[in-house]
């Protein structure tokens, strides 16, 4: 008979902020090690064997990235991260088309996109492009009809993220890409939060451009990739040039170690995604169940069904998110996107879902991931319930 398993000790502090960044998987670190030591050649130094060794490692990694997202190896361009990839995709597609005399000026995106997508689109407004930012429904998803309406004006590019970074809500990328395609527009998707979480088939879905981040998928920070469709070929103007690496789309010495790390992270994700989604989803559901039992009025923001397994975005009935976090310093959660954590503004994503500023200020993002243990969830459930009770008691005393 099976022995009773002891619950593993919680990690301290308990890290439930896996949408901000993830731990670099020790297996990924292990894979990078040779490229941080004896294999230090520049992948562009094709003239000598050390350069060729590095180049081979880069190409092997490229194949792993391509396989995970349903692409051809030649469709993957390495960048410094998803932010850069989003910048290249949006600005690059618009500028290239305009440079070729394309008269279309409309860029369509969504209110809940990552800041770097919204800022890239806004930057194009200064160059004579017209940016249309579509609202989302209460469940956090884009209404396909709203996209169709926006596309009645000839449109260059549509950018819709596959998974939202604050709510974990999943968009139907295949459906939205088809609508864009029908209208003759290019379709870009920020995949930073989707890679390794949900199966992706960029070729089958007719996506033209897709952005990937290393550190959101248990890889290193400082590396990412851009998917650029080959058939039919999507043409881009590079953000900056130089040595002409990555077919001129992204110059600069390729960081072989990081790219190997991203490749290994993608290989692991492909192999473990299904089992991990199941495990993480169970942890998430368990946490939600216990919080609902202790705090019956707690509300989940965004669709519960079309949602990645690791995410919870909760609005508490009375307690402020900042006070809850202050009460449990050993629990790492967040009030929204990490980039703007320092800013005290309420989340624009939650406001786009229809939450008031007050509701947004009572909302927490909880990100469960590969290294979250059941004990971590026990701790988080107990700690948040206690913190909520304490905050509510303090509010009642006033």
Partner 1 sequence: MTEMHYLDANATQPLRPAARDAVLAAFGVTGNPSSVHRPGRLVRRIMEDAREAIAGAFGGQPGDLVFTSGGTEADCLAIHAMAGGRRIIMSAIEHDAVRSAAGGATVLPVGVDGAVDLRALDERLSDGVASLVCLMLANNETGVIQPVRQAAAICRHHGALLHVDAVQAAGRMPVRLDSLGAHSLAISSHKLGGPAGAGALLLAQDAPFAGPLIGGGGQERGRRGGTPAVALIAGFAAAVRASAADDLVTLARLRDAAERAAVACGAVVCGDPAYRLPNTTCIALPGAAAGVQVIALDLENIAVSAGAACSSGKVQTSHVLRAMGLGALAGEAIRVSLPWNAAAADIEAFATAYQRVAARLRTTRGPTLVLDAVRS
Q: Which of residues 165-224 bind partner 1 (CB under 8 A)?
A: 213, 215, 220-223
Write down the catalytic residue from 24, 116, 332, 339.
339
Q: Applying CB under 8 A, which of residues 68, 118, 161, 312 lies at the interface with partner 1?
A: 118
Question: How many C-beta atoms lie closer than 10 Å to residue 67's C-beta?
Answer: 16
- Give the β-pairing of 155-159 and 186-190: parallel
Residue 256 within binding range of partner 1, rule CB under 8 A? yes
DSSP character at residue 338:
G
We find the least distance from the C-beta atom of residue 258 to partner 1, in angstroms, to be 5
Q: What are phi and psi of 114, to 5 degrees?
A: -65, 150
- 189: which strand partners? 210
| Beta-carbon contacts of residue 318 (< 8 Å; ≥ 6 apart) | 362, 391, 392, 395
Residue 27 within binding range of partner 1, rule CB under 8 A? no
Which SS3 state, helix, strand or coil, does residue 209 take? strand
Binding map of partner 1 across residues 286-325, x = CB under 8 A, - = no contact: ---------------------------------------x
DSSP character at residue 195:
T
Has 116 been annotated as catalytic?
no
Residue list 70-89, contact with partner 1 (CB under 8 A): 79-84, 86-87
> Count of residues binding partner 1 (CB under 8 A)?
72
Residue 40 within binding range of partner 1, rule CB under 8 A? yes
Nearer CB in complex with partner 1: 199/326: 326
Nearer CB in complex with partner 1: 8/154: 8
Rounded to whole angstroms, the Cα distance separating 246 from 86 reads 16
We find the least distance from the C-beta atom of residue 244 to partner 1, in angstroms, to be 6
What would you report as the CA-atom Rg of the chain, rounded to the nearest whole angstrom? 22
Q: Applying CB under 8 A, which of residues 27, 51, 95, 146 lies at the interface with partner 1?
A: 51
**C-beta separation of 193 from 217 below 8 A:** no
Q: Applying CB under 8 A, which of residues 107, 209, 236, 239 lies at the interface with partner 1?
A: 239
Rounded to whole angstroms, the Cα distance separating 109 from 87 reads 14
Q: Applying CB under 8 A, which of residues 67, 73, 96, 119 lies at the interface with partner 1?
A: 119
Nearer CB in complex with partner 1: 183/191: 191
Residue closest to 105 by CA, chosen among 120, 87, 92, 124: 124
Show which residues are catalytic. 339
């Amino acid at each position: 008979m099976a022995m009773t398993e002891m619950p593993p000790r919680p990690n301290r502090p308990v890290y439930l902020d896996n949408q901000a960044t993830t731990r670099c998987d020790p297996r990924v670190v292990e894979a990078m090690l040779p490229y941080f030591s004896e294999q230090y050649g520049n992948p562009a130094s094709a003239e000598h064997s050390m350069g060729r060794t590095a180049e081979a490692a880069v190409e092997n990694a490229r194949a792993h990235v391509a396989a995970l997202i349903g692409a051809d190896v030649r469709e993957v361009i390495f960048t410094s991260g998803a932010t850069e990839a989003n910048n290249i995709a949006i600005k690059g597609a618009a500028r290239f088309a305009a440079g070729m005399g394309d008269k279309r000026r409309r860029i369509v995106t969504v209110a809940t996109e990552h800041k770097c997508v919204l800022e890239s689109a806004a930057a194009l407004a200064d160059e004579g492009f017209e940016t249309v930012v579509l609202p989302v429904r209460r469940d956090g998803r884009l209404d396909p009809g709203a996209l169709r309406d926006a596309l009645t004006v000839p449109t260059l590019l549509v950018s819709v993220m596959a998974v939202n970074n604050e709510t974990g809500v999943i968009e139907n990328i295949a459906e939205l890409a088809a609508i864009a395609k029908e209208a003759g527009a290019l379709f870009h998707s920020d995949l930073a939060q989707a890679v390794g979480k949900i199966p992706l088939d960029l070729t089958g879905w007719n996506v033209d451009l897709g952005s990937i981040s290393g550190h959101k998928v248990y890889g290193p920070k400082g590396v990412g990739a851009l998917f650029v469709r080959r058939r039919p070929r999507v043409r881009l103007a590079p953000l900056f040039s130089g040595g002409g690496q990555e077919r001129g789309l992204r110059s600069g010495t390729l960081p072989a170690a990081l790219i190997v790390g991203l490749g290994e992270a993608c290989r692991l994700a492909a192999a473990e995604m299904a089992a991990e989604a199941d495990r993480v989803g169970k942890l998430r559901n368990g946490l939600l169940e216990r919080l609902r039992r202790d705090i019956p009025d707690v509300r989940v923001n965004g669709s519960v069904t079309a949602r990645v397994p690791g995410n919870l975005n909760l609005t508490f009935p009375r307690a402020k998110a900042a006070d809850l976090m202050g009460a449990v310093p050993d629990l790492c959660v967040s009030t929204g996107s990490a980039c703007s954590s320092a800013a005290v503004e309420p989340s624009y994503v939650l406001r786009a879902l229809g939450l008031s500023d007050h509701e947004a200020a009572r909302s927490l993002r909880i990100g469960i991931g590969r290294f979250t243990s059941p004990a971590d969830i026990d701790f988080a459930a107990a700690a948040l319930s206690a913190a909520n009770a304490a905050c509510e008691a303090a509010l009642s005393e006033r």
